[in-house]
Structure 1
Amino acid sequence: MTESLSAAELAGWRAYIESSQLLLTRLEEDLRAGSALSFADYHVLVLLSETPGQRLRMGELANRLVFSPSRLTYQISAMQRRGLVARQTCPGDRRGQEAVLTAAGLLALREAAPAHLAAVRAYLMDDLDDAEIACLTRVFQRLGARLRADRTAPLAR
């Protein structure tokens, strides 16, 4: 049988899950209201804008977004219809596909970024001091690395 969480662990878990859901919901609502981009759209655009050639293989993009291949295909298809991204054959491997940032996608990102970053600041960063930001970064980088490494391993029971 799984060991119960201590009162402190349970309080931490509930505070995390409830506040993170509120934060993501608020950021999504603000982003859609100000730019007509979803949070997933924005994340795709950011990742593509930060890579050389503003392109990523579909598999790499799915991994970085933590999307299943079918979810990424749906996401990229919807963004492609709106002109935000294009899908192209990989130059070095004709079997692979890449998502490529378009000029319209870059413009949408540049227009949405100031308000989105202001919301991130207002809803999260302004309430944290430098030590808390450093702690938050350490915790979630460590957790993210472990979860990525354990992604294919079954949960030990």
Structure 2
Amino acid sequence: MPDKLDKIDLKILKILQQNSKITNLELSKRIGLSPAPTLERVKKLEQATVIESYHAKVNPQSIGLNVKTFVLVSLAWQKENALNHFLEKIKEIEEITECYIITGEADFLIKIVCKDIPTYEQLLFKTLSQIDEIERLKTLMTLSTVKDSKVLPYKYE
């Protein structure tokens, strides 16, 4: 990571999070630098992995992925290598788009995106419930999305 991010770096980060397809010329105008130093700053942020990657945000419904669920997972910790086995298995399930180790009533929170309820039910009963290390699953079905921002909450100014 660069020694310290200055105000210009922070402006670059905010703008690129809002629109990663912005041209270097437009970005340079918005931050008040010429194009060459702007590009140099972006490259430094990439090399320092402050900027990890660029993505297209796809509307899931537009490609037929209409169900989003969050699942609380509790592991059977008494089983040898439970954590490693569980992590290996869930990394293979493409419908699991996010996984977090959490505190509280469960050990993990996973996000699943799939076509419909029957597809989710099949994933739950034929895939997830077959993972020996899982002791308990609790599904939280989403009804609608209220906010889905990818801009990190940071003081950019």
Q: TM-score by structure 1 length?
A: 0.31
Higher relative contact order, structure no. (Cα contacts within 8 Å, ≥ 6 residues apart): 2
What TM-score results when the alignment is normalised by the length of structure 2?
A: 0.31
Q: Report which of the two has the higher share of helix.
A: 1
Q: Which has the higher strand share?
A: 2
Which structure: larger Rg?
A: 2
